[in-house]
Amino acid sequence: RGVGAWDKDGHEAIGMTTMSALEAHATAEVKHLMGGRDAADVASWAHKVNKKFPWTVELHFQRQRTWNCAKADMSECSDNRCLVRGLKHFYGRLSNKPLVSVNWPSGMPKLTDADCVKFLINLIGDLHQPMHLSKDANDMGRNITVVYRGKTMSLFDLWDKELTQIVMKQSPGFWLGGWTNVQRTRVEYEQDGARWKTEGVAMFDRWADETVKYLCESVYRHPITRDVLIPDEPSAAPIHIGEDLVDVWKRDMLSKMLVAGARTAIVLNAILQHREALTELHAGTAVKDLEGEEEAAAPSRAPFGRQGDIPLGAAKTISGVPAGLINLVTFVSVGAVFVYVMRTWEGRDAVNQADRAKQREGGKKT
């Protein structure tokens, strides 16, 4: 059962938007934790974890047991293994402020800080994919059959991967043209950033409510005609999707990817901007042998300040007698140069004084 929101390409777009909005220190910290990689490079990491530990699939969804267009239902969350509580768990651990305890099954390794960052990056993207907060009754849209251009698929798959692939095939120049930049959603980014400073992790709930509201108004209802598109009771009859509807959904999807990337940056900035005063986050991963995942060895951390300009591995510490001899030689050398310069300066000054005296005497004779 697939769980990737907007597939790997969609998550990469979100990751690139994230990197465009990260502060300088946060960018350096993310790359340190990821062994030189960034948010786009680890776009599908959490979904690879799903294959190794199938129970983690639950972390990607916030199933709606009851339906309320104004507010997400958070009641379906056994052992705190669901989307919003999972986000709060990983954020709390990384910010050194435990918020939610997830009941991990036996056999699950203790995740590293880098693993938690990768989960956050993936899950914030999922939070903005409408079908990841869809009705439990229709299995998040998997039991709803739609037809677009003669191709039959589930509503879940249409949103999870088909819309992304449609845009990439129809507008490859646009997809590869640098649209994944926070400047395209600057207003929302600044507003969300200001709200995060006052509300913190409560914003995860706000964003979930926003996704459910969109799902109710623009997916379960036709966003143009306002007619009911998805009936409350699942039907065996397929729903035919027209070009006008797909065009609206494509635009909305791209907007949601940009917003998801910007919000991921807001969360990571909040975690990482003050980490220098706290315990250092640890790189590496506890989840080994993932399919298609080659974990790069984490580089040594470059020192802060002027020492940060020294290439990694170039500086060696010298202590003891050798250090004392070096200091002595340096002191003597500097002293000798100082004496030489002063004597030269004094000599030149004496010559200049003699020249001026001769000039005065010559002037008197004239």
Task: Give the model's pLDDT for residue 347.
Answer: 53
- pLDDT of 325 above 90: no
- Which DSSP letter does residue 153 get? E
| CA 17 – CA 257 distance, rounded (Å) | 8
Q: What is the mean pLDDT of residues 108-113?
A: 92
Instruction: Report how far apart the first and last C-alpha atoms of the chain are (Å, whole number).
Output: 111
Q: Which residue has the tokens 């999922």?
A: 126
Q: What is the mean pLDDT of residues 121-147?
A: 96
Give CA angle at 120 (114, 126), nearest 5°.
145
Task: Give the model's pLDDT for residue 279.
Answer: 73
Q: What is the mean pLDDT of residues 47-60?
A: 92
- pLDDT of 1 above 90: no
Strands of the sheet containing 239-240, edge to edge, are 151-154, 145-148, 239-240
Supply 150's token pair.
């003669």
CA dihedral sign, ordered 230, 243, 223, 159: positive
| CA 197 – CA 140 distance, rounded (Å) | 32
Q: In the 3-class helix/strand/coil scheme, how is 277-329 assigned residue by residue?
A: HCCCCCCCCCCCCCCCCCCCCCCCCCCCHHHHHCCCCCCCCCCCHHHHHHHHH
Q: In the 3-class helix/strand/coil scheme, how is 24-80 assigned residue by residue?
A: HHHHHHHHHHCCCCCCCCCCCHHHHHHHHCHHHHHHHCCCECCCCCCCCCCCCCHHH
Q: What is the residue-averaged pLDDT of the chain? A: 83
Task: Give the model's pLDDT for residue 232.
Answer: 83
Q: Which residue has the tokens 């099954």?
A: 105
Q: Which of 8-17, 178-187, 263-272, 344-353 shows the lowest mean pLDDT across its residues?
A: 344-353
Tens of pLDDT, residues 260-273 = 999 999 999 999 87
| CA 127 – CA 133 distance, rounded (Å) | 7
Task: Give the model's pLDDT for residue 307.
Answer: 33
Q: Which of 264-278, 312-326, 338-352 shows the lowest mean pLDDT across its residues?
A: 312-326
